[in-house]
Structure 1
Amino acid sequence: MTSPSPLPAEFDLIARHFRPLAGPGALGLRDDAALLMPPPGRELVLTVDAMVAGVHFLPDDPPDLVGRKLLRVNLSDLAAKGAAPLAYLMTVSAPRGTPDAWFAGFAAGLAQDQATFGVSLLGGDTTSTPGPLSLSLTIIGHVAPGTAVHRTGAQPGNSIWVTGTIGDGALGLQAARGRVADPTGHLLGRYRLPRPRIGLPIAGIASASMDVSDGLVQDLGHICRASDVGAVLLADSVPLSEPARAAGPDWFITCLTGGDDYEVLMAVPPDREPALRSAAEAADIPVTRVGHFTSGPAEVMVRRTSGESLALDKGGWSHF
């Protein structure tokens, strides 16, 4: 009698670390595809983000936080569409010799946030790479048909709103590099672990929306170009955390342009502002009005309370 062939290393890794994360449609991660049945009467929303070691996270970041950040940056995109999360697909390309303990920690972080946000793994791919650790996650959410909030709906006279605070993630990276004091660890925590604003019901309230990943000024410019409107950003109204304020005025431009906020940026008609405040209060998510949209060129003007324009060398992060 012949003995069964040993399980190849890749499939052994999948069975140990990723199969426990799989939902019903994943078919035990034993097939080439998954099955997904959308909730009745709902429309699917899909988005994908990649993370590369040394670019989107530090190579020595704890693996559980890397897993949670990978999931959360994608959840943030769903939040900006007013969507509820459902499931995800994932690709992991790791250098040969990556310790098994790293995969165990990575999967444990995913499991923690799967429980928090009500999602499960459908499938994906694992490969080796000679380059840095590279991760990609495609998340699937759902909305009532026709209610997903796009970038294209902003109108002149709409106000500009953001959730949470701006700049903590960018300053957290600087704190990790020893350039900014962070005695409480708040800034580094925000860099490593975003707070996706899942649960803020912006459908029917925001006329346009996106999450802030590449810098507030740059992402506001994306809405302007998509909607063919201008914007006035009131710099002194942008909400900063106490640790960000403590970093000092020299880091203020970094807060506006640095990225890694993963807050929701919205265009809101004036008559819907009470509804936004009410929804935000019910969801326990802070929101702040930071400017308004205008007719004219699709560009962002950044102004201080005095009316003075604030000149910026760049608007935000570039992927190339």
Structure 2
Amino acid sequence: MTRTVRAKAPAKVNLQLTVGPRRADGYHPLVTVFQALDLWEVVEATPRTDGEITLAVEVAAGSPVDAAGVPLDHTNLAWKAAELLARTFGITDGVDLRILKGVPTAGGMAGGSADAAAALVACAEAWDTGATRGELAAMAARLGADVPFSLHGHTAVGLGRGDELTPAMSHGEFHWVLATQTEGLSTPAVFQEFDRRLEAREQAASDFEVDGAIMRALMAGDAVALGQSLLNDLEGPALSLMPRLEEVLDAAEAAEACGAIVSGSGPTVAALARSRQHALAIAAHLRASKVADAVLTASGPASGTMLVQE
């Protein structure tokens, strides 16, 4: 009897994103510290016998996330994950994929990577491949730089393209406010602007190492110290391409956030709060300021990709 398998994968925020000069292969080496947040992408996988793959996308109930623009074909990372898994394990069955979105799209929070990770786990179970976590991690790295962390979750240091992961020690819970924009930012365009700024000496290169202040703040569970240490080399380029994000950062500062940062390549701004109650107060201030199209709250570190019951 055909069964539907569900898996969920978390959003992420970069506490540190240090970018090195572009290499000959076109990639930029990264030093990053990820934290998984309890905003989830849920992927349902239902096997079919004709070898075809189908994809549908919905928005989780009560979520302000917009699913418009999410591709429903082979260009979607969840679809690519299913294809890769099928090729790797010689699966001839197809699958109906259904994505329930809870992570902002094109927001620098790895929603597409979470879809890929959740699809790997759901399809591996639905097709009864017997894939190990290590095998899934190897496939995740082939799908995209952020997919391995979506599978891993919690807090981790990422090197290389961000896919060489080492777990990071973290104590307690951190509470975040996420201000999102309907209009996205192109990740390649942000990296191109980073290259331009670096070459024009409009931006200095950061020390290419894991930030000790961030690691100490995580181990101490100190939100104030962590907020003061947040670091993103792509923030300047993102602000150049979307100057109105300055207003979001200013509003977060006015709400006495511990710190605020553009998440990844943007345009989501992540503000760190002292507590869950403080996060709600910051969110209310950002909504009243009308500097974002949607405002969400989330906590981290969250778990990695996992199977879920009905």
Instruction: Name the TM-score, length of structure 1 as normaliser.
Output: 0.25
Structure with max Cα Rg: 1
Q: Which has the higher strand share?
A: 2
Greater relative contact order (Cα 8 A, min sep 6): structure 1 or 2? Answer: 2
